[in-house]
């Protein structure tokens, strides 16, 4: 069965996509059968790095129901406004109105309405696409509609799609690029996964994000290793993160130096190890990839 590796960080902008695109590239270069998943469904960017081209499949996903109010039946009693814990209902000119992007489709307003003015309607909350990357393997991208809340479900659907591809094509590895944060979409991306790669930079904020992320990872009992990105910007925080990693019994997978080359590779939209395999950054990322590979196979 294919192994699932999830790249996460807690804080945003520390290098998740840089690491996950490089991992996917290096795995495929070594001839491993892989499929990539972009589980940052709010702002999916991984396919840009991997050169997502030919569209293989596209499915629209109904993530939720939305409340719909029939104004001819609404008597303006306001009971729906009172019961809505999401603040999705307001009164306008004596009638209830639904702010669609706030509605979670729980149905409480429908149950409480004395005149049956509320109904639930299926709502297309997002899009799953499967594309072929420039390296030949496939990438599954989940993309959620504007302001939608049900990102966890989109992540699950995207992962299921990748799992089906892995089964059908007998692939060995699924690389998942996660979202920032520690909430619903992150929980959906790590449940049942084999390994979490936690990317951190040596700053107080990223360290705080890491500790909160690892609490979630521990909660779900997933194995994890740590990558310190831009490790040379602070000896103090690199030291603290290293000590924390050791004390918690996680593996330090490696360190990536600060380099403008990452920015250059990004503007060219290629993973750093392809942009210049001989650079210090690429060498450290390749070392991290080998370490992950060893740990996963062990």
Partner 1 sequence: MKIAVTGGKGGVGKSTIASALIRHYSEAGRILAADLDVDNPCLSSMLNMNRPYKVEDAETFKPSIVAAKCIGCHKCVDACEEHALYGLEGSAPTLYDQLCSGCGACKLVCPANAIEDDRKVLGQISWYNRGNITLIEGRITPGEARSPIVARQTALAADKEYSTGVYKHLIIDTMPGVANPVAQALLIAEKVVAVTEPTLLGIHDIMLTLELSDYLGKTVGIVINKADISREHLIKLRKICAEKDVKIIVEIPYSRDILFTSVSQPPGDELKAYVRRIASWLKNTKP
* CB of 110 vs partner 1, minimal distance in Å: 8
The only residue of 32, 33, 48, 51 in contact with partner 1, by rule CB under 8 A:
48
Nearer to partner 1, 69 or 179 (CB): 179
Selected range binding partner 1 among 12-20, 28-36, 66-74, 134-142, rule: CB under 8 A: 12-20
DSSP character at residue 234: -
- Where do the DSSP E strands lie in 51-149? 55-69, 89-92, 95-98, 118-132, 138-144
Residues from 217 through 276 that contact partner 1 (CB under 8 A)? 219-220, 233-234, 263, 266-267, 269
Q: Is 86 in the site for partner 1 (CB under 8 A)?
A: yes
Stretch (H or E) spanning 109: helix 108-112
The only residue of 179, 198, 200, 270 in contact with partner 1, by rule CB under 8 A:
179
Locus of tokens 């049956």: 116
Nearer to partner 1, 75 or 263 (CB): 263
With H, G, I as helix, E, B as strand and everything else as coil, classify residue 255. strand
Q: Is 178 in the site for partner 1 (CB under 8 A)?
A: no
Nearer to partner 1, 10 or 254 (CB): 10
Residues in CB range of 115: below 8 A, 6 or more apart:
73, 74, 75
Whether 22 contacts 289, CB under 8 Å = yes
Selected range binding partner 1 among 130-138, 207-215, 241-249, 273-281, rule: CB under 8 A: 207-215
CB atoms within 10 A of CB 162: 28
The only residue of 30, 62, 121, 215 in contact with partner 1, by rule CB under 8 A:
215
The two structure tokens encoding residue 12: 């945003």
DSSP character at residue 8: E
Stretch (H or E) spanning 21: helix 16-29
* CB of 108 vs partner 1, minimal distance in Å: 5
Nearer to partner 1, 192 or 220 (CB): 220
What's the CA gap between 210 and 101, in Å, rounded?
Answer: 30
What's the CA gap between 9 and 26, in Å, rounded?
Answer: 20
Applying CB under 8 A, the residues found at the interface with partner 1 are 9-14, 17, 40, 42-43, 45, 48, 64-65, 83, 85-87, 99, 101-102, 104-108, 111-112, 144, 146-149, 151-152, 179-184, 186-187, 203-205, 208-209, 212-213, 215-216, 219-220, 233-234, 263, 266-267, 269
């Amino acid at each position: 069965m294919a192994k699932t590796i999830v790249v996460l960080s807690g804080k945003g902008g520390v290098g998740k996509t840089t690491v996950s695109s490089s991992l996917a590239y290096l795995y495929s270069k070594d001839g491993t059968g892989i499929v990539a998943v972009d589980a940052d469904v709010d702002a999916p960017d991984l396919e840009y790095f991997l050169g997502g081209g030919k569209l293989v499949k596209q499915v629209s996903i109904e993530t939720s129901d939305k409340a719909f109010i029939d104004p001819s039946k609404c008597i303006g009693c306001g009971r729906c406004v009172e019961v809505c814990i999401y603040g999705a209902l307001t009164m306008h000119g004596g009638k209830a109105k639904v702010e669609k992007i706030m509605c979670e489709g729980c149905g409480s307003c429908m149950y409480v309405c004395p005149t049956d003015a509320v109904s639930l309607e299926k709502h297309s909350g997002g899009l799953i696409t499967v594309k072929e990357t420039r390296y030949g393997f496939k990438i599954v991208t989940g993309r959620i509609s504007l302001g939608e809340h049900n990102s966890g479900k989109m992540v699950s659907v995207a992962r299921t799609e990748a799992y089906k591809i892995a089964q059908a094509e007998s692939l060995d590895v699924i690389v998942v690029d996660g979202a920032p944060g520690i909430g619903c979409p992150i929980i959906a991306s790590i449940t049942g996964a084999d390994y979490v790669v936690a990317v951190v930079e040596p700053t107080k904020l990223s360290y705080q994000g890491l500790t909160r992320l690892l609490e979630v990872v521990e909660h779900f009992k997933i194995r994890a290793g740590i990558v310190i990105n831009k490790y040379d910007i602070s000896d103090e925080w690199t030291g603290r993160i290293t000590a924390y990693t050791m004390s918690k019994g996680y593996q330090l997978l490696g360190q990536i130096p600060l380099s403008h080359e990452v920015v250059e590779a990004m503007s060219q939209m290629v993973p750093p190890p392809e942009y210049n395999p001989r650079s210090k950054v690429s060498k450290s990322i390749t070392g991290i990839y080998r370490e992950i590979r060893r740990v996963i196979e062990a």
